[in-house]
């Protein structure tokens, strides 16, 4: 049979292995082990914080780049100015240095040092003696490089360095004084970077103000954007809470033509789908109870027979069933047993099963052989399912303890297993026949066996047993069933049935059933008293 969804249903009177919850989904979610609660931060707050952080980072990076560029530009301007001043001195000083016109040289460096940024200017002769200095006390002293001076760059023959003094940084320039390509001395010039620092400080204040304004504007814009997106999300959250509380009529109002509007419309459609699903769940639960009521609640009390039956459904409803047919001669040790398997699963299969059960029960109380019963039921079912692909396999068995014989009709179902413990021999109750609902005028044949003896065991099952698979994809097969029958041959019918079901569960190792499982076990005994439940 086709595979079916994974839920187990057992016959009425037994243990229901599924828990039917007719309440809203919230009831299912809220039950069980408590989970650790985490602090919830609204998306509105997250968006504002992330936007603010991003604005600060971007603004800081841009501000830093601008400040570095400004500092470089200011320094380049000072270097250009210093290079120009020292070239003026170097161009005007040669003849005056040769003629030792010290007053003219002094006036020359004094004029250059009049610039605000110039710290000092010097003219040094070839012997390293300062011949002119804007600081008069340095004249006629040996020239020395500023302490801690370090080179920065060189422009043509002008050497440019830097040194620190009293917490302030200075640029230092040196250029040779030449006369007819012969060096007769050199010029030294120092320029303070105080003006650069002041300019940078001013630029920093300006950039900080602009950055703060940008951040405030960014925060304001992020608030607006966050509100624009968070309000629809809040409405969706209100809808989710309403659904969790079981209000499936709640509609989310999201009047937008973007993705959030599409989500709102999808949410409203989902809530209606959940409402319909909830109604369907209630209907399925009711159908499950109705179908369970169709299965036998007790096994009949037949002298010489020990009977057990069980159905496990993999969905809320299924297509497997078994039944005990009252032949009117139960007191004389005669009873009919029916086991059927409808193709597919779910509601359609359950409806066909209920229809077939009614047909079989009604027709079995009329005159005729079981072959005629099955033929008439097949004709009626074919009229109902001829336009569909549904069908039903059936095994109809009668046991007559007075005559010590079996009669059966096989309509496309797996043959029943027949075990004789005395000879330790397995046989099968075979026979010709197609499934019900396929060919309306099929002539079903009745088969017979008349060698019943105490201890013999008859097992009828559906293919959901031997076609079950484990996690490795291996099929259970019939061999384990035969072994379990042999191992439990001295047990009761109920114990044999339970052993087979337990063996199947061990084999599956937690893998859900893909098809319904139905099993009938009949054991021949010298005598039997009392009734037993069809489900343990």
Q: Where are the alpha helices (DSSP H) in 314-369?
A: 347-364
Fold classification of 76-198 (topology level): Beta-Lactamase (3.30.450)
Domain limits, CATH 3.60.40.10, in the chain: 295-524
Residue the block writes with tokens 């001669």? 329
Neighbour tally for 368: CB within 10 Å:
12
Which one-letter DSSP state was computed for residue 209?
Answer: H
Per-residue pLDDT tens listing for the chain (536 residues): 544 333 343 333 343 433 334 344 433 444 444 445 666 677 767 777 887 888 888 888 888 888 888 888 888 888 888 889 989 988 998 988 888 888 888 899 898 888 878 889 999 998 999 889 988 888 899 998 888 888 888 888 899 998 888 888 899 999 999 988 899 899 999 988 887 777 778 878 888 888 888 888 888 887 887 777 777 777 777 777 887 777 777 777 767 777 777 777 777 777 777 777 776 677 666 666 766 777 888 888 888 999 999 988 877 667 788 999 987 776 678 999 999 998 877 777 888 888 889 999 999 989 999 999 999 999 999 998 877 788 999 999 999 998 999 999 999 999 999 999 999 999 999 999 999 999 999 999 999 999 899 999 999 999 999 999 999 999 999 999 999 999 999 999 999 999 999 999 999 988 988 888 999 999 999 865 443 344 43
SS3 276: helix
Q: How far apart are CA 257 and CA 64, in angstroms?
A: 42
Q: How far apart are CA 343 and CA 513, in angstroms?
A: 16
The CATH number given to 295-524 is 3.60.40.10
Q: Say what the pLDDT of residue 359 is.
A: 93
Asked whether the whole model's pTM tops 0.75, one would answer no
Closest CA to 490 of 525, 518, 453, 531: 525
Domain limits, CATH 3.30.450.20, in the chain: 76-198
Q: Say what the pLDDT of residue 284 is.
A: 65
Sign of CA dihedral 260, 263, 269, 270: negative
Q: How far apart are CA 138 and CA 358, in angstroms?
A: 129
Q: How far apart are CA 357 and CA 321, in angstroms?
A: 8
Please report the beta strands in 158-205, taking only residues with DSSP state E, as ranges in sequence order: 158-165, 168-179, 182-192
Six-digit token string for 498: 């339970």
């Amino acid at each position: 049979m086709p595979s079916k969804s994974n839920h187990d249903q057992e016959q009425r009177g037994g243990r229901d292995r599924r828990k039917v919850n007719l309440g809203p989904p919230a009831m299912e979610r809220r039950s069980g082990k408590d989970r650790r609660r985490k602090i919830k931060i609204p998306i509105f707050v997250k968006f504002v914080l992330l936007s603010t952080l991003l604005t600060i980072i971007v603004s800081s990076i841009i501000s830093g780049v601008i400040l570095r560029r400004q500092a470089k530009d200011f320094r380049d301007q000072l270097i250009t100015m210093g290079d120009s001043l020292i070239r003026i001195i170097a161009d005007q000083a040669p003849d005056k240095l040769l003629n030792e016109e010290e007053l003219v040289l002094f006036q020359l460096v004094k004029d250059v040092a009049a610039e605000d940024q110039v710290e000092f200017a010097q003219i040094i002769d070839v012997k390293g003696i300062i011949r002119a200095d804007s600081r008069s006390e340095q004249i006629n002293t040996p020239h020395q490089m500023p302490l801690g001076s370090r080179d920065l760059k060189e422009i043509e023959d002008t050497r440019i360095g830097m040194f620190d003094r009293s917490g302030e940084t200075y640029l230092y320039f040196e250029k040779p004084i030449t006369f007819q390509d012969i060096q007769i001395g050199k010029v030294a010039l120092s320029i303070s970077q105080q003006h650069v620092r002041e300019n940078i400080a001013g630029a920093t204040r300006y950039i900080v103000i602009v950055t703060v304004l940008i951040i405030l504007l960014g925060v304001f814009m992020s608030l607006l954007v966050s509100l624009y997106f968070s309000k629809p999300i809040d409405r969706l959250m209100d809808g989710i809470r309403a659904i969790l509380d079981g209000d499936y009529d709640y509609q989310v109002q999201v009047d937008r033509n973007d993705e959030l509007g599409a989500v709102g419309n999808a949410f409203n459609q989902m809530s209606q789908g959940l409402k319909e699903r909830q109604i369907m769940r209630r209907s399925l639960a009711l159908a499950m109870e109705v179908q369970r009521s169709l299965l036998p609640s007790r096994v009949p009390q037949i002298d010489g027979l020990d009977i057990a039956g069980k159905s496990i459904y993999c969905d809320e409803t299924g297509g497997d069933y078994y039944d005990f047919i009252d032949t009117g001669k139960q007191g004389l040790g005669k009873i009919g047993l029916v086991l059927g398997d409808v193709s597919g699963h779910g509601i359609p299969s359950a409806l066909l099963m209920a229809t077939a059960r009614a047909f079989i029960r009604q027709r079995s109380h009329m005159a005729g052989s079981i072959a005629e019963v099955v033929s008439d039921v097949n004709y009626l079912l074919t009229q109902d399912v001829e336009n569909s692909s549904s069908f039903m396999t059936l095994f109809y068995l009668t046991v007559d303890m007075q005559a010590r014989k079996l009669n059966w009709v096989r309509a496309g179902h797996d043959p029943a297993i027949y075990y004789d413990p005395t000879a330790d021999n397995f046989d099968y109750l075979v026979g010709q026949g197609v499934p019900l609902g396929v060919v309306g005028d099929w002539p079903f044949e009745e088969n017979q066996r008349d060698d019943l003896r105490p201890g013999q065991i008859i097992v009828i099952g559906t293919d959901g047993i031997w076609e079950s698979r484990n996690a490795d994809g291996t099929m259970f097969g019939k061999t384990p069933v035969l072994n379990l029958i042999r191992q439990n041959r001295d047990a009761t019918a109920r114990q044999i049935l339970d052993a087979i079901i337990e063996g199947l569960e061990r084999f599956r190792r937690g893998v859900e059933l893909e098809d319904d499982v139905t099993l009938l076990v009949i054991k021949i005994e010298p005598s039997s008293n009392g009734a037993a439940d069809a489900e343990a």
